[in-house]
Amino acid sequence: MSQKGPMEIAFESISPAEFFYRNRQLAGFGNSSQAIYSTVRELVENSLDSCEDAQRLPSVKVEMSCEDSDIIRICVSDNGTGVAEEYVSRAFAKVLYGSKYHNRQRRGTFGLGVTMAVLYGQITTDSPVLIHTQCSGLQGKEYTLFIDVETNQPIVESSRPLKREFDGTSVTVQLRGDLKRAQERIVEYIRLSTISTPHAQILLEINGTESLKSGRWWDTVPPPVLGSNPHPRAADFEMLRRLAQTNGEKRLQDFLVSSFQKVGTKTSSRFLKFVSFDPAQKVSSLTRDDFGRLSTALRKFDGFENPDSKSLSPIGKEAFLAGIRSTFSISSQYYSSRGPSEWQGNPFIVEGVIAIGDDFPRSDIPAIYRFANRVPLLYDSSEDVLTKTVKKVNWKRYNVTSSAPAALLLHICSTRVPYKAAGKQSIDTIPEIEIAVLSLLKDLGRKLGKTVRKSEKALRENKKMREYARSFRHLAKFGAALAGVDEIPNTNRLVKQLFEVYPDE
Ligand SMILES: Nc1ncnc2c1ncn2[C@@H]1O[C@H](COP(=O)(O)OP(=O)(O)O)[C@@H](O)[C@H]1O
Ligand SMILES: [Mg+2]
C-alpha cells in the first residue's frame, strides 16, 4: 500500500502587475465591455487631471475605431502638461507607479488606471501602448511600450522624436471587445463628465465620425488644488512614526504644530495636557508605546477644528447648475453643500443639486447621479453610500412625487474617497460621510419642498380669488338690477383689497 506524504507547500511572491493580471475585475477590467468603458474612463481621467495641473481649459478628444472585427483602437488626446521623458515608461507601463500619491483631491489615486488599460490591451491583442507626448518648451516624442508582467517593469519597444501640434499627451491602446455594446455607457460617461468638469470640452469620434461634443459650460479653470499637511485625526501609529523619523530634533509641541494642519501652539498645548506629555520632550526620545498613546489620543481629542478645504476642488454652485442646465431639460434646480468635514482625518465636501425636469424618470424617489472627485460613477450604484442614503429619506415629505420627475446629482470630493474596490465604482458607508449626505439631502428636500408648497399655495390662492371675483361680479350685477341702474359697479378693487393683487379680468 502506497502512503501519501504531506503535500509540499510552495511559497512565492508575485509582482503588482501579475496580481492585477490575475485579478483584473478588482480594477474594473473583468469583462470586455467593462474593460472598454474603464479604458476610456481612465484615460479621460488622466487627461483632465493633467489639464488641471497645467491650469488650462481641457480639450479632450476620444477616438474609437474598430480595426478588425473585434479589435478596438482607443486613442485619448489632451492639451495637458505632457509627461517628462524620464517618467514616461514607468508612468504608462509599471503598475502602481504614479504622481498622485499626495494629500490633495485628484481623479487618479492608485497609479493603476492607464497601466490596467495597457495591460488589458497587451493580453488581449498583444499590442503595445502608443504614447505621443510633449512638455512645454521641449521636443515631442513618441513611444511604444509593453509591460513585463512578471517583473512589473516597462519594456520600451521603440521611441522617436515627433512634434506635436500643442503640448499634451495622446495615449493609444488596442483591445479586444464589442464597441457597440460599450458605446452607450461611454456617451453617458462623457456627458456626465462635463457636468462635474464643466470647464472641459470632450469630443467623441467613432470610426472617424463625430458622435458627441459635450462641454465647456463654464469658462474658468478652478483654482489649483493644493497639497496640505495631514489633519491630526488622520495620524495613525505608522504616520506618526514616519513623521518623527525626519523630525527627531524637534520638541514634541513644535513637531505637532509643523506636521499637522489646524494645530497651533495653543491647541497643541491643550492636546499635550490632555494626553499628559511634556511639550518640551524631544521627538527622538519617544518610544513605540508613546507613539501608540499619542495616535490614539489624536483621534479621541475633540479640540481640533475641521480640516481646511484648500486640498479640495468642489464643482461649486454656479458651475454645477450651469453644467446640469446645459445637459438636461430643467424646470427648476436647487444647490446645497456640506463640509469641509473629515472622515478619519481626510477632509471631504459633499455638494448636490436637486433638479426637476422632463428628462428624468417619473418616480417617488429622485433619479440618482453620483460623482466622486469630479468623476461620474456609473456602476454598482446600489452598493454606494450616496444611493443608500437617498433611499433612507422620505421624499413625499418634501413633495417629491411621480408627478414632478426629479433627479439628485451628488458629488463627494475628498483627498481620499473611500472606494470599495480599485475599480472606483462605489463609495463605502462611512458614518461621517453618511451624516453629511443625509443633512445635504434634507436641505435639498426642504428647498424643493418650499417652492413646491409656494407654487401650490399660489395656485390655491389664485383659484380662490377667481371665485371671489366671479361672485362679486354677480352680486354687483344683481345689485345694479335691483337698484334699477345701468352701470354695473367695478368690484375688482374690492377683490384686490382682499388678496392684495388684481384679479385677471
Ligand atoms: N494624459 C496624461 N498626461 C499627463 N500625465 C499622465 C497622463 N496619463 C498618465 N499620466 C501620468 O501617469 C501616471 C500613472 O497614471 P495612472 O496609471 O492612470 O495612475 P493615477 O492616475 O492613478 O496616478 C499618473 O500619475 C500621471 O503622472
Ligand atoms: Mg489615472
Q: Considering only CA atoms, which residue is closest to atom 21 of ligand 1?
A: 108
**What residues flank ligand 1, with Cβ below 6 Å?**
42, 46-47, 50, 78, 80-81, 83, 91, 98-100, 108-115, 169
Distance CA 108, CA 100 (A): 7
Distance CA 368, CA 22 (A): 33
What pLDDT is recorded for position 503? 46
Ligand nearest to the CA of 169: 1
CA–centroid distance, 483 to ligand 1, in Å, is: 90
CA–centroid distance, 349 to ligand 2, in Å, is: 22
Q: Which of 29, 46, 202 to mutate to test the pocket of ligand 1 (most atoms within 8 A of CB)?
A: 46
Atom of ligand 1 nearest to the CA of 111: 19
Distance CA 293, CA 296 (A): 5
Distance CA 75, CA 29 (A): 18
What pLDDT is recorded for position 3? 63
What pLDDT is recorded for position 453? 66
Residue linked to cell 488626446: 77
The DSSP secondary-structure symbol of 361 reads P
Q: How many CA atoms lie within 13 A of 414 on its CB side?
A: 25
Distance CA 48, CA 215 (A): 13
What pLDDT is recorded for position 465? 76
Ligand nearest to the CA of 145: 1
What pLDDT is recorded for position 497? 75
Could you tell me which residues come within 8 angstroms of residue 373 by beta carbon, excluding any fewer than 6 positions away? Answer: 105, 106, 107, 412, 413, 414, 417
**Burial of 494 from C-beta contacts in 10 A (0-12 / 13-18 / 19+):** middle
Q: Considering only CA atoms, which residue is closest to atom 27 of ligand 1?
A: 99
Classify domain 317-451 at the CATH class level. Answer: alpha beta
What pLDDT is recorded for position 457? 64
Q: Considering only CA atoms, which residue is closest to atom 8 of ligand 1?
A: 46
Distance CA 186, CA 117 (A): 15
CATH 1.10.8.50 fits 232-300, yes or no: yes
What pLDDT is recorded for position 505? 40
Instruction: Give the Cα-Cα-Cα angle 147, 153, 158 (nearest 5 degrees).
Output: 60
CA–centroid distance, 362 to ligand 2, in Å, is: 36
What pLDDT is recorded for position 54? 97
Q: Which of 38, 78, 97, 114 to mutate to test the pocket of ligand 1 (most atoms within 8 A of CB)?
A: 114
Taking the domain 16-215, which CATH number applies? 3.30.565.10
CA–centroid distance, 338 to ligand 2, in Å, is: 27
Distance CA 193, CA 342 (A): 25
Mark the ranges of the chain whose per-residue pLDDT is less than 70: 1-3, 67-68, 452-460, 499-505
Alpha helices in 4-31 (DSSP H): 16-22
What pLDDT is recorded for position 504? 45
CA–centroid distance, 300 to ligand 2, in Å, is: 35
Atom of ligand 1 nearest to the CA of 99: 25
Q: pTM here?
A: 0.89
Sheet of 129-134: strand order equals 153-161, 141-148, 129-134, 168-176, 71-77, 59-66, 201-206, 209-215
Spatial contact of 383 and 420, defined as CB atoms under 8 Å apart: yes
